Amino acid sequence: MRMVSRRYLLSSLLIGTLHAGCLLLVALDLGYSVSPSNYGVVGLSWRYGGLVVVAAIPVWLALRYRLVAPLVAFVVTTGYVLGMELTPPGPTFRDVAELEGLAEPTGSIVVENGLYIIRYMINASVWTVGFLFVGLLEYAIRTRWNRLPDVSPPISWLSISAPKRRAVGIAALGGLLHAAVMVWFAYRLGVTISGGFEVLLYLYGAIGMWLLAAIPVYLLVRHRLIAPMTLLTIFVFRDVQAEFAANPDGPHAFYFGSWFIFLSLVLVVGGVEYGFRQVGNY
């Protein structure tokens, strides 16, 4: 069994590496500056490694536990990224001087109709969290409904419904993962507040990001409530997908700063699902 698991892991990393290589080759062919010489060691590891991991984890879940939803979500996302880059009009590189009517070039380049691969690469950690949440949902659903095939082999530490202590631990871990990635995402996007209270803002946001994920995860693994986790996963994907457009009023600042609104929605749908289950005695 250990040899089989190692083979699955190596296969997943190989596919992840091929995924990263293909996207980087396409990016270079399109004219993006993504060669190793453009980054330092940390930047190179983060960007290239992110493209490996964002593919390797869904592939590993499919090979090791036969969880197909994360792999489907990953394939759809990568297909969307490549489709947007390779279909007309394609990326256009223009100097700021051309846009502002200046006589001399500035050397500052604006890319129109592009940067999908670049933003996918930079935000790979957020996409990875989304794919993991999809896998958790599939695992819970296939464990709950007998008409669906069981997960094989079952994940020993992830029982549904889990004992309270274990459910708390899993929820705390899920909340920590979500909080860490979303705090980094906010920092990368430059989410800030006037008055010099950035430290308080990020502390407040980190607590909210932890609660926003920990509560749905707990409700899922302890009480088998599917709707809260489903809604959270939609929030994550919608948040990071909007970054492809790179609008100045992107949704992450609202997601990060107004997390209590999203948490309220999660609790409402959880209450509705619980009510329906009580009425249906299910």
Q: How many domains does the chain have?
A: 2
Question: Does the pLDDT value for residue 1 go beyond 70?
Answer: no
* Judgement on whether residues 146 and 281 belong to the same structural domain of the protein: yes
* Judgement on whether residues 19 and 68 belong to the same structural domain of the protein: yes
Q: Which amino acid is at 144?
A: R
Q: Which amino acid is at 243?
A: E
Angle, helices 259-280/226-241, rounded to nearest 10 degrees: 150
- Per-residue pLDDT tens digits for 8-56: 999 999 999 999 999 999 999 998 989 999 899 999 999 999 999 999 9
Strand partners, 95: 109
* Judgement on whether residues 114 and 27 belong to the same structural domain of the protein: yes
Q: Which of 88, 122, 156 is the last residue of a domain?
A: 122
* Judgement on whether residues 72 and 22 belong to the same structural domain of the protein: yes
* Judgement on whether residues 4 and 113 belong to the same structural domain of the protein: yes
Q: What is the dihedral of CA 16, 19, 23, 24, to 10 degrees?
A: 50
* Judgement on whether residues 150 and 244 belong to the same structural domain of the protein: yes
* Judgement on whether residues 259 and 187 belong to the same structural domain of the protein: yes
- Burial-class residue 17 by CB neighbours within 10 Å (0-12, 13-18, 19+): middle
Q: Pick from 46, 48, 59, 50: which is nearest to 14 by CA? A: 59
> Between β-strands 92-95 and 109-112, what pairing exists: parallel, antiparallel or unpaired?
antiparallel
* Judgement on whether residues 170 and 209 belong to the same structural domain of the protein: yes
Res. 104 pLDDT band, cuts 50 70 90: low
Structural domain range at position 10: 1-122
* Judgement on whether residues 41 and 99 belong to the same structural domain of the protein: yes
Instruction: Say which residues have a Cβ less than 8 Å from residue 45's Cβ, sequence separation at least 6.
Output: none
* Judgement on whether residues 147 and 259 belong to the same structural domain of the protein: yes
Q: What is the pTM of this model?
A: 0.92
- Per-residue pLDDT tens digits for 114-154: 799 999 999 999 999 999 999 999 999 998 887 778 787 88
Q: Please compute the mean of the pLDDT values over residues 253-275 and round it to a whole number.
A: 95
Q: What pLDDT score does 218 carry?
A: 97
* Judgement on whether residues 94 and 211 belong to the same structural domain of the protein: no
CA gap 236, 203 in Å, rounded: 20
